[in-house]
Structure 1
Amino acid sequence: MIHSPSAVPDHRTRAHEVVASLSTQEKAGLLFHPILTIGADHDPDAPSPFGPSSRELIVDRGIRHFCLASIPSPVETAAVLARLQEIATSHGSRLPIVFSSDPRHSFLSNMGATHRANGVSQWPEPIGLGALDDPELVETFARIVRDDYRAMGIRMALHPQVDLATDARWARQAQSFGSDPALTSRLLSAFLAGLQGPELGSTSVAATVKHFPGGGPQKDGEDPHFPYGREQVYPGGRFEEHLLPFRTAIAAGVAAIMPYYGMPVGLTRNGHRVEEVGFAFNRALITDLLRNELGFAGVVLSDFGLITDAHVFGKPFPARAWGVEHLDSAGRMARLFAAGVDQLGGESDTSQLLRLLDDDLVSEDRIDDAATRIVDVMLRLNGDDSGSSVPDVALMPAREHVALGLHAQSRAITVLKCPGNALPLTSPRRVHVRGLDPDSLPTGWEAADLENADVAIARLSAPFEPRDQYFLEAGMEQGSLEFPTEVVEQLRAVAAQVPLIVSVTLSRPAILTPLDEFATVIVGDYGASDTALLDALTGRVAPEGRLPFELPRSMAAIAASRPDVPGDTVAPLYPAGWSANYSSLEGEGASR
C-alpha cells in the first residue's frame, strides 16, 4: 500500500524505500508503458489487439503504466479503469496503475498522436492556442484537461508537445504551439501550471513534455515514425534554440520528458560530434545533456515502439530504432537503458529485461534507479488527497467548458486577407456553401445555389499527400502543401461569380498563393466547428489569432529553406505573426 509522501521530507527517500520492498520482477514491470485499448465491456482476460490481456500485463508482468488509445464515454471509461485498479491494488506490488493519454480535447484524430474530443469539451488544436498567445487561457484549458482526466481516472498526460514548427512539411505541427521558442516556452509554463499545479501532487495530472530535444528540424519535413523520416538536421545551427522549451519545462518541475524518434545527423555540440542514433538511444543527449547539463531529475519515457518490429492491423510498423536497426530487440532494450531512458513506451516484454539482468547486460542498480524515479511520481500523484475531490465524471462535459472551447475556436481564427469592409458579414445573406453545413448558418441566412448567392464560403483542410504503406501513415499529414489543381480551379470559378471567403484549417501550413489571387477573404482556423467559424466571420466573436508559423509562397521556397530555422523561406506569402486585423507586426510592417 502507498503511504502519504507528506509524512516524510523527501519524496525520493520514500520512493527508494518502496522500490527496495519490491521483487525484481515487480520493479521490472514498472519500466514498461504499453498501449491499452478499452471498450465499455472491457474483459481483462481477453487478448488485446497488441497481444496479452490486461490481467496478464498487470498481474503476471507487474506493469503499472498504460497509455489509453481508444476509450468509450467518460463514464464508461471511469468504470473500466476503476475495475483495472482493483486488480492492480490486490496483486503483486499492490501499486496503483497510472493511466496516460495523448490529447483528447481537439478536432484531429490520429491513434499515434491525438484523439478527437468525445464526451469532453472541444478546443482548437494547440497550434491555435499558439495563434492566440493567451497564457491565462492556456492555463484554464490545462485545468479543464486535468479535471477531465482525473474524473476518468487518467493521471498522466503524454503532452504538451513543444517542438518548434520550423519545417512547414512536418506532420506533427498541430499539436505544437508554433515556431517561436519564446512563445512556446511562455505557453508551456501556463499549461504546466494548469495541469500539474505549483508542484506535483494528489490533484495533479503528471505532464510529459515532448519531444526532446525538439522534433521540428526533420530532413525534408518527413516524420520519423517511418524509415524515410529518420534523419533530423541542423543546417542553420539552431539546436540550442529548440532546447529552450525543455529548459522551461525542467525549471517548472515537469514530471516526465519524452525523447523523439529522430536521429541527429551532422550535429556537433561542445566540440564533439553527436552519435547518429535515435535520440532515446543517445547517451550523449539523454544522460550527458538532459540529466547532467540540464539537471532533469524526472522520468525519461521513451516514445512508443523503439524495440519490437510489428505488423498492426495488417500494416508493417518497423521499430523506430534509427541508427541501431542492426541490433536485435534485446540489444535495443539494453541500449535504451544504457542511454538513460527509464521507461519503455509501447513495450511489454518484461521477461526480456529480466534476461538482460541475468546476463549482466542491464544492472540491478540501473533498474532500481529508473524504478525509483517512476515510483517517486506515483507517490506524489497518490499522496494525501484528504483535502481534494475528484470531479464528477457524470457531469462531463461541463456546459461552461464547452462554451469556453467554442469561444476559443473563434478567437483563434486568423484573418489573412480582408480588403476594406469585407468582414464582418453583418446582415443576413444568401450563401453558397462548400465544406460547410448549411444548418450552421445564422438565423435569417439562407443557403443558395451559386447563381442566386450574395457570397460564397468554402472550408478547406490543409493539403497533404495520402500515404498508407505503414501503420499510422494514413493518419499523418505529410508531404506537399499545395492544393490540387482541380480544387483551385473550382474555387476560381466560384470567385468569378460572387465574392469568395475561404477558410483553411491550418493543422499545418498551406500554399495559399493560387487562392490569394482570387479569394476576397482568406482566414485560417486551427480546429473550429462551422458555428465557431461563422461566429468569427459575422463578428459575433472577434477573430484574434496571429499566424503561429509562416505560410510559404511555394514548395520550392520550402525546399530551399533550413529545417531548423523558423521563418526561413524566401518572401513568404504571409509571415509568422501575421494578421490582417492588425496594422503592424512587431519588428516589421504589415505589407507583404
Structure 2
Amino acid sequence: MSNEATTTAVDDRYRDASLPVEERVEILLNQMTLDEKAGLFFQTMISIGPDGELSDGDPAFNLPSNAHYVLERSMNHFNLLGVAPTAGTIARWHNRLQELAASTRLGIPVTISTDPRHAFSENPGAAFLSGPFSQWPEPLGLAATRDADLVQGFGDIARQEYTAVGIRVALHPQVDLATEPRWARALQTFGEDADLSGELGAAYVRGFQGESFGAGSVSTMTKHFPGGGPQKDGEDPHFAYGREQVYPGDNFEYHLKPFEAVFAAGGRQIMPYYGMPVGTEHEEVGFGFNKSVLTGLLRERFGFDGIVCTDWGLVTDSEIMGQPFPARAWGVEDLTPAERIVKILDAGADQFGGEKCTELLIELVEQGVITEERLDVSARRLLREKFELGLFENPYVDAEAADSIVGSAAFRAAGDAAQRASITVLSNERTDAGAPALPFARGAKLYVEGLAPEAAAAYGEVVATPAEADVAILRLQAPFEQRDTMFENFFHAGSLEFPAEVLDHVAEVAAQVPTVVDVFLDRPAILAPIVESAAAVVANWGVSPAALLDVLTGEAAAHGRLPFDVPRSMAAVEASRPDVPFDTADPLFRFGHGLTL
C-alpha cells in the first residue's frame, strides 16, 4: 500500500473478536501505510507526565513528547521509564496514552513494556525500584530460595500488578548465566547453573503469561539470547570496553540451555544481547546483528516464531544524563545507521529497541533496499501479539482499582516472605559465650551500621558504640570499581575485593563485639577476610530491615542457598574461564551452600 492514507473508509473488521487472529492481522496489515507499518518496528523509552498527564518529554534521556511518538511517528510500543508515586498515576497516564492512540487513523493500541520493577535496585539501564509495586528479592534472591513454585507465584502477582496499570510486556526474565564472577548484570539472573536457571526461568514465564496466553497475560521478553555472561574481564557491553564475549572453555552450548526451558514454557519474545562473540563459528558482530545466531540458532534450530526485539540503542548515537552515548553497534561501528537497520532485519529481528528513527526505515523501503514484504513478516508478529493480548478489545484499565490491586497487603506479604526465604547464612561461628552468633536473642543491645536505628529498635536496644553492644550488625554492598560517568556506575563492575578500609573497619568492630555482616551480594564478592573477622556472614539479594532481622533473631527460618560459587580470591577469578560455570579454583563457598538456623 502507498505511504499516503487513502480516502476510502477504514475496513474495521479487524476489530471483530469473533474472527481468527490471523485473519484480523491481515485485514489490518493490508490497509496500513508504510508510515504506520514502520511505527510498529520501534520500541523505546517513554515518560509519564505529572499526576498521570501525558508527558512533554524527558530531556535527561533525550525523550520527545508522548504526542510526538504517537501522532508524528506512528509508534505504539513503549518501555516505561522511571517510578511513579502511585499505581493510579501510571494507570491514568496509560489510559490517556491509549486515548491518544485511538485518535489515529487505524487506532492501533499502545503496548507498554517495562524493565523489572519489583525489587531493590535502581538502574535506568536495567531495573527500577519497586515504588508502588510489591517488593521482592532480585532474581538472584529468587534463585536462592530454590523454589520454582515461589517464582511462579511471584510472576503471577507481578502479572496482576502490571496489568492493573496497563503494562503488558515484561522485558525479563534474564536467564543469562553468571559464569563470569565480575559480570555487571549478574543480579537479574538466576545464577550460574543452567539447570536451575532454566527451571526458574520457565516458572517465571508461566507466572507472567498465565495458564493460557490472552487478555490477562503479560508477554515475557526473555533475555539475552544466546546468553550473556561470558564477558571478557566481566565488563558490560553497554560500553565499548565490554563488547567482547569470549568462550575459552568452548562452552557456548551451555548458555543456550535455559532458553530451551523458556521456549518449552511458551516464552513469547526474545531480546538478543549487545555482546559480540569472539572466536566462535559466528560472525564477530553484536548478537542483534548476527544472522547465524538469530536466524540460524533461534529461528531455525529452536523454531522460535515469536517477536525478536534488539537490546536498546543499536542504531543511533544518543545522550544519557548529559553524556554522549554511542550506539552499541559492536563489530559494525563502520556502518551507517541505515546500514545497521538493514543488517538487523536481515539477521532476523523484528523490532529496534531504544530507537525512534522511523524515517530511516521508511527511506530504506522507498529506496528499494528493504522490501515491504520483509516488513510484513515482522509486522504480522507484532500485530498478532497486540491482538492476542486483547488490546484491540479493551486497551484501557480501571484506574480507580489500580491502587487497591498494586501493592496490596497480600502481595506485599508474599514479597516479604520471599525476602526472608532468600536470605543465605554463609558462616555462623560460636562466640566467647559458647553459642553460635545466630540467632541472637530479641531485646539484645544492638550496634548497627547500614541499618536504620528505628528499624533495629523493634528488635533490641540500639546503642551508640560497639563496646556497649551485645551484637553488631553491619550491612555492606558488594564492592565495585568507580567509573567515569554516573550511568557507568549503575553497572557494578571491576574488582570483587573490598577496600582495605572496609576490611579494617569490620575487623575493628568484630574485635569488640560478636559481629554479623550482611552483604548485598549482587556479585560474588571476595568474602574471605570478612568471614575471618566476623562471627557470622549473611548474603542477601534485596531484603528489608524487618525481614533481615526476623531471620537474624530466629523468628523466621534461614534456608537460602547460594546461586553461585563465592570465589576465594581475585587471582582465582582472573584465572577462571568466563564461559564455564564453577570454574574458580577452591571457592570459599560453593553453589548451594547455606546454613539453616
TM-score range, shorter chain: over 0.9
Worse-matched range after superposition: 192-201 or 147-156: 192-201
User: Relative to 1, partners in 2 of residues 1:562 and 1:2: Cα closer, same or farther, differing over 3 Å?
Assistant: farther
What is the Cα deviation at residue 143 of structure 1?
A: 1.0
- Check the 8 A contact 1:147/1:390 in 2, yes or no: no
TM-score (structure 2 length as normaliser): 0.93
Residues 210-261 of structure 1 show CA distances to partners (whole Å, capped at 9, x for unaligned) of 0000001111100000000000011112111111111122222212100000
Q: Does 1:7 align with 2:23?
A: no
Partner AA of 2:364 in structure 1: L
Aligned to 2:368, the other structure's residue is in SS state coil
Match of 2:74 among 32, 48, 62: 62
Aligned length: 574
What is the Cα deviation at residue 512 of structure 1?
A: 0.4
Structure 1 match to 2:65? 53
Partner AA of 2:335 in structure 1: L
What is the Cα deviation at residue 378 of structure 1?
A: 0.5
What is the Cα deviation at residue 151 of structure 1?
A: 0.9
User: Relative to 1, partners in 2 of residues 1:493 and 1:5: Cα closer, same or farther, differing over 3 Å?
Assistant: farther
Aligned to 1:501, the other structure's residue is in SS state strand
Match of 1:110 among 123, 138, 144: 123
Residues 345-396 of structure 1 show CA distances to partners (whole Å, capped at 9, x for unaligned) of 011111110111122221111100010000011100016979x996920213
What is the Cα deviation at residue 8 of structure 1?
A: 4.1
What is the Cα deviation at residue 543 of structure 1?
A: 1.6
Residues 116-168 of structure 1 show CA distances to partners (whole Å, capped at 9, x for unaligned) of 11011111101100011111111111111111111111111101111011011
Q: Report the Cα distance in structure 2 between the residues aligned to 1:377 and 1:174, rounded to whole angstroms.
A: 29
Worse-matched range after superposition: 232-241 or 104-113: 232-241
Q: Report the Cα distance in structure 2 between the residues aligned to 1:506 and 1:444, rounded to whole angstroms.
A: 24
Aligned to 2:324, the other structure's residue is in SS state strand
Partner AA of 1:393 in structure 2: A
Q: Report the Cα distance in structure 2 between the residues aligned to 1:444 and 1:85, rounded to whole angstroms.
A: 48
- 1:63-102 pair list within 5 angstroms: 63-72=75-84, 73-102=86-115
Q: Does 1:441 align with 2:456?
A: yes
- Check the 8 A contact 1:124/1:527 in 2, yes or no: yes
User: Relative to 1, partners in 2 of residues 1:546 and 1:491: Cα closer, same or farther, differing over 3 Å?
Assistant: same
Structure 1 match to 2:467? 451
- Check the 8 A contact 2:140/2:541 in 1, yes or no: yes
Structure 1 match to 2:413? 403
Partner AA of 1:92 in structure 2: R
Q: Does 1:574 align with 2:582?
A: no
Could you list the runs of 5+ residues in structure 1 that have no partner in the other structure? 268-272, 583-592
- Check the 8 A contact 1:120/1:148 in 2, yes or no: yes
Residues 254-307 of structure 1 show CA distances to partners (whole Å, capped at 9, x for unaligned) of 12100000000001xxxxx21100001000000111001110000000000001
- Check the 8 A contact 2:145/2:421 in 1, yes or no: yes
Aligned to 1:7, the other structure's residue is in SS state coil
Structure 2 match to 1:465? 481
Q: Report the Cα distance in structure 2 between the residues aligned to 1:190 and 1:159, rounded to whole angstroms.
A: 12
Structure 2 match to 1:589? none
User: Relative to 1, partners in 2 of residues 1:2 and 1:495: Cα closer, same or farther, differing over 3 Å?
Assistant: farther
Aligned to 1:502, the other structure's residue is in SS state strand
Q: Report the Cα distance in structure 2 between the residues aligned to 1:566 and 1:8, rounded to whole angstroms.
A: 49
Q: Does 1:189 align with 2:197?
A: no
Aligned to 1:523, the other structure's residue is in SS state strand
Structure 2 match to 1:506? 521
Worse-matched range after superposition: 40-49 or 348-357: 40-49
Computed over aligned residues only, the root mean square deviation of the Cα atoms, in angstroms, reads 1.9
Structure 2 match to 1:519? 534
Aligned to 1:34, the other structure's residue is in SS state strand
- Check the 8 A contact 2:420/2:543 in 1, yes or no: yes
Q: Report the Cα distance in structure 1 between the residues aligned to 2:158 and 2:442, rounded to whole angstroms.
A: 37
Q: Report the Cα distance in structure 2 between the residues aligned to 1:2 and 1:85, rounded to whole angstroms.
A: 20
What is the Cα deviation at residue 333 of structure 1?
A: 1.0
User: Relative to 1, partners in 2 of residues 1:324 and 1:76: Cα closer, same or farther, differing over 3 Å?
Assistant: same
- Check the 8 A contact 2:314/2:329 in 1, yes or no: yes
Q: Does 1:246 align with 2:259?
A: yes
Q: Report sequence identity in percent.
A: 46
Aligned to 1:81, the other structure's residue is in SS state helix
- 1:157-236 pair list within 5 angstroms: 157-236=170-249
What is the Cα deviation at residue 46 of structure 1?
A: 2.7
Partner AA of 2:171 in structure 1: L
Q: Report the Cα distance in structure 1 between the residues aligned to 2:150 and 2:320, rounded to whole angstroms.
A: 38
User: Relative to 1, partners in 2 of residues 1:215 and 1:444: Cα closer, same or farther, differing over 3 Å?
Assistant: closer
User: Relative to 1, partners in 2 of residues 1:184 and 1:418: Cα closer, same or farther, differing over 3 Å?
Assistant: same
Q: Report the Cα distance in structure 1 between the residues aligned to 2:158 and 2:368, rounded to whole angstroms.
A: 43
Q: Does 1:275 align with 2:283?
A: yes
What is the Cα deviation at residue 312 of structure 1?
A: 2.0
Structure 2 match to 1:366? 374
Q: Report the Cα distance in structure 2 between the residues aligned to 1:384 and 1:473, rounded to whole angstroms.
A: 40
User: Relative to 1, partners in 2 of residues 1:398 and 1:45: Cα closer, same or farther, differing over 3 Å?
Assistant: closer
Q: Report the Cα distance in structure 2 between the residues aligned to 1:2 and 1:571, rounded to whole angstroms.
A: 65
User: Relative to 1, partners in 2 of residues 1:428 and 1:48: Cα closer, same or farther, differing over 3 Å?
Assistant: closer
What is the Cα deviation at residue 331 of structure 1?
A: 0.8
Could you list the runs of 5+ residues in structure 2 that have no partner in the other structure? 1-11, 431-435
- Check the 8 A contact 1:39/1:71 in 2, yes or no: no
What is the Cα deviation at residue 43 of structure 1?
A: 5.9
